[in-house]
Amino acid sequence: ILNVEQSPQSLHVQEGDSTNFTCSFPSSNFYALHWYRWETAKSPEALFVMTLNGDEKKKGRISATLNTKEGYSYLYIKGSQPEDSATYLCAFLNNAGNMLTFGGGTRLMVKP
Amino acid sequence: EPEVTQTPSHQVTQMGQEVILRCVPISNHLYFYWYRQILGQKVEFLVSFYNNEISEKSEIFDDQFSVERPDGSNFTLKIRSTKLEDSAMYFCASSGLAGVGEQFFGPGTRLTVL
């Protein structure tokens, strides 16, 4: 059983704060790490798919880094806005196939 | 912008009944997936489907479950004889690439088994 953990489980920040959270995953048989943003009552939306150790990806104010050797990825949000409030999910893919294993998510709430 | 759609949004059924959950993936995608999330738990992979056959399935996807692509647009998940523990949110997703391809998720079907 693959273990993918995210921390913290939830986070309250003020508008304008920068924040980050962690996804940890098995360091063996790594193939890809997916990040999704999931707003309440909407579909999960892909943010990044990361494959290489040391990868850094950026989309607007959101960026992510990847360390496959130690088995973690960080997601950063710079200058949080209320519309960033959502659950952020990571999902690990090992090289055995197509099965994404999800973490439990970090629920971010940004107060105006 | 193309999107994945799912019907119904909410299905209530009696234990032991069969249910079919429907999905319309993005039209030029080749890989299709079903996931579920039981309330308060992690999202769990059920099955992936490519080239008209199952490419991978999890331990959850036992003989009570089946998937089908009956025509060029729909992708269905059938649960033959529902159990109380099948109550969950079921998500369909599709992607243009396996593995490293972003998956596009539908809005989900909430299944309640009474």
- Sign (positive or negative) of CA dihedral A57, A110, B92, A68: positive
User: Are B99 and A93 in contact (CB < 8 Å)?
Assistant: yes
Q: How far does the CA of residue B24 sit from the closest CA of chain A (Å)?
A: 14
Residue B18 dihedral angles phi and psi, to the nearest 5°: -90, 140
pLDDT band at A106 (very low <50, low <70, confident <90, very high): very high
Render pLDDT for A61-96 as a digit per residue (tens, 0 to 9): 999 999 999 999 999 999 999 999 999 999 999 876
> Cβ-count burial of A45 within 10 angstroms (0-12 exposed, 13-18 middle, 19+ buried)?
middle
Amino acid at B51: N
Closest-CA residue to B97 (of A53, A31, A68): A31
Interface test with B, best of A100, A101, A107 (most B CBs within 10 A): A100
Q: Which DSSP letter does residue A84 get?
A: G
Q: Which DSSP letter does residue B100 get?
A: S
Which residue among A42, A45, A104 places its CB closest to the CB of B42?
A104
Render pLDDT for A14-63 as a digit per residue (tens, 0 to 9): 999 999 999 999 988 899 999 999 998 899 999 999 999 999 999 999 99
